[in-house]
Amino acid sequence: MIVRILSGSLALLLLAVFPASGQTFAITATNVVMPRTGSGTSQYTVSNVPETGTLTISCTNAAPIDPSTKVPFCYAGPPHAIPVVAGQTVTGTISFYPYPVPLPATATMAAALMIGVVMRRKRRWLVAVIISAALAGTMALSGCGGSSNGMTPGTYQFTVSAVNAPAVGTGPDELSTTVVSVKVQ
């Protein structure tokens, strides 16, 4: 009886240290279909995180792209390390936007007002700043301020990566990648 308990405990220990085949560190993500002037999202899942530590998700173009082609911009969130434990599953969202994204008119107007408050004694400067901000805001709204007026239709490939960085001194970083297709209609 004691031998059975010890052998069962040894088997569990071995499975914890050396996971059974099929249990590998992997990332998957859904493909995206988005309009020429809109945005889209992909849901990712990272399964079987190998070691306790941190997980960082990133997204980049999978292949070189012709500079004249207007492709979506991939955003996985601010680069930060997500605390994880071994074996954990992590899910999240990756966003795709038209690139470049115009500065919203409200942000332009807010900046202009802040400059105006600082320079309130010099009325000529205040008027010049407000007029400039109004023009910049109008350009951003109309799409003439350097924004894209539609992405180039087609299917583009993006690489989504997950890096597991274990606690200091416990092992090397591990990388898992997947490819996401983004179809712009």
Burial 23-34 (b: 16+ CB within 10 A, else e): eebebebeebeb
Q: pLDDT band for position 182 (50/70/90)? A: very high
Give me the domains of the chain, ranges plus CATH numbers.
24-100+155-184 (2.60.40.10), 105-142 (no CATH)
Give the model's pLDDT for residue 32. 96
Give the model's pLDDT for residue 121. 55
Q: Any alpha helices (H) in the chain, and if so which ranges?
A: 2-17, 105-118, 123-142
Q: Which residue has the higher pLDDT, 91 or 122?
A: 91
**134-180 tens-digit pLDDT:** 666 655 554 444 444 688 999 999 999 999 999 877 778 999 999 99
Q: Are 90 and 55 in contact (CB under 8 A)?
A: yes
Q: Taking 80 as the threshold, does the pLDDT of residue 132 lie above it?
A: no
Rounded Cα–Cα distance for residues 108 and 151 (Å): 24
Q: Which residue has the higher pLDDT, 19 or 153?
A: 153
**28-87 tens-digit pLDDT:** 999 999 999 889 999 999 999 999 999 999 999 888 778 888 889 888 887 788 999 999
Rounded Cα–Cα distance for residues 70 and 146 (Å): 12
Q: Are 76 and 57 in contact (CB under 8 A)?
A: yes
Give the model's pLDDT for residue 17. 42
Rounded Cα–Cα distance for residues 73 and 90 (Å): 23
Burial of 11: CB neighbours in 10 Å, binned 0-12, 13-18, 19+: exposed
Which pTM was predicted?
Answer: 0.62
Rounded Cα–Cα distance for residues 14 and 74 (Å): 40
Give the model's pLDDT for residue 167. 82
Cα(first)–Cα(last) distance of the chain, in Å? Answer: 66
Burial of 85: CB neighbours in 10 Å, binned 0-12, 13-18, 19+: exposed
